[in-house]
Structure 1
Amino acid sequence: MDTKTILAIVGVAGGATLYQASNWWERAYAPYESSEISPDGCIRIDTYRPFWVLPPRFHRIPDSDPAVHNRLGRQWHYPIFKRAYEITTGTPLGESIVYDPAGQKFIDWGDTRDVGRRVVTVNGFPLVDSQRCSDKATLTKLEAHHEQRRQANRPMQEAWEAAAMPAAPSFDSSQ
């Protein structure tokens, strides 16, 4: 084998190794950004920025819709990932993939009707699927929070419905 072939093989193998190592250290050395507590006070979600050595264009931007295939080279706006912990014990409950919220930081704290199972998602990506924090009392606190949010949004919803519905024609039967 000539020198160019050996250098090419070493370069490809080194690049593949660097990429795999990058997937590990992007989480291991990630700087902490912020924390958020669930409305029921049971789950803490910490946000981190990935520690990337390779430029962002070498990382795919995932989409919560599996039918969407993103290519390498797209511009990241604000890559983050989240880790969830049970507050009382500090037990890790889950970790999201690295994603780009692109201005939307939506957390779905789970369905309050599903006693015995708690599924939490961030921007459509799964974060927690656990039996912890899914007892009736905890889910009742979460439902109270959801109801409070629904009541707070009711005037906005009514205004939107009033603006969206055209005025019904009046039929005067006295004519």
Structure 2
Amino acid sequence: MDIKALIGVILVVAGAATYQASEWWERAYATYISSQTSPDGCLRVDTYKAFWVLPSFLHRIPDPDPENRNDLGRDWDGAFFKRAYEVSTGDFLGETVVFDASASFNMMFWNDSKEAGRRIVLANGFPMVDTDRCADKATLATLEAFYEKEREEFRPIQERWERDRERDREEERLREQNQPDERQASGAAASPPGGGRLAGR
């Protein structure tokens, strides 16, 4: 085999091996950032900054919508992932993919399951937990009470926004009604007496 071809093969194999290894060490050597406890007190979510050796543009930015597939070659603002644990036992329940915080939703969905006795947690739009832990009626009732309180606090803001939107619509409707009258008045002012013919002397 030609020496250049051999070197090329070695570089490709080494690059592939390094990329595969990066999938492991990005989590193994990650830096802890912060923790967050669910409103019902049953789950703890830890946020980590992934450890990368390879440049970020060699990693594909995941999208919360699995139908969307981003291309390689885009720089990341920051690589993070989240892990969930049960507070009472400390048991690990799941983790997200490594994601770019600037390209995801900065929100926690503490239960996205419609099935009784099941709990699905999304972090930044990515699946993190699918479990029967912390899914009993009492815990979910506490969670629902938290969301209901949030809805009550947000309701005046939403109502004010709806009133402002309705007012803007009414103002726009009045402007549209007045525009034909304004055009007619403008046309009448521009037309001289006598159907546009100037009287001669």
- Same fold flag (TM > 0.5): yes
Task: Report if the CA contact (8 A) 1:112-1:139 is conserved.
Answer: no
Q: How many angstroms does 1:165 deviate by? A: 1.5
* Of 27-36 and 157-166, the range deviating more from structure 2: 157-166
Q: How many angstroms does 1:24 deviate by? A: 0.8
Task: Report if the CA contact (8 A) 1:112-1:143 is conserved.
Answer: no
> Which has more radius of gyration?
2
Which structure is higher in helix share?
2
Q: TM-score, normalised by structure 2?
A: 0.80
Structure 1 equivalent of residue 193 of structure 2: none
Structure 2 equivalent of residue 151 of structure 1: 152
* Of 160-169 and 99-108, the range deviating more from structure 2: 160-169
Distance 1:29 1:116 in 2: 35
Distance 1:3 1:117 in 2: 58
Q: TM-score, normalised by structure 1?
A: 0.91
Distance 1:9 1:112 in 2: 48
Q: Are 2:170 and 1:165 equivalent residues in the alignment? A: no
Q: How many angstroms does 1:113 deviate by? A: 6.0
Task: Report if the CA contact (8 A) 1:115-1:139 is conserved.
Answer: no
Structure 2 equivalent of residue 129 of structure 1: 130
Q: Are 2:84 and 1:84 equivalent residues in the alignment? A: yes
Task: Report if the CA contact (8 A) 1:50-1:79 is conserved.
Answer: yes
Task: Report if the CA contact (8 A) 2:83-2:128 is conserved.
Answer: yes
Q: How many residues align?
A: 169
Cα RMSD, aligned residues only = 1.8
Structure 1 equivalent of residue 189 of structure 2: none
Pairs within 5 Å for 1:11-160: 11-102=11-102, 104-111=105-112, 114-160=115-161
Q: How many angstroms does 1:107 deviate by? A: 0.4
* Of 14-23 and 63-72, the range deviating more from structure 2: 63-72
Report percent identity of matched pairs.
Answer: 53
Q: Which amino acid aligns with 1:99?
A: F
Which consecutive segments of 4 or more residues in structure 1 shift more than 2 A? 111-115, 166-169
Distance 2:73 2:121 in 1: 30
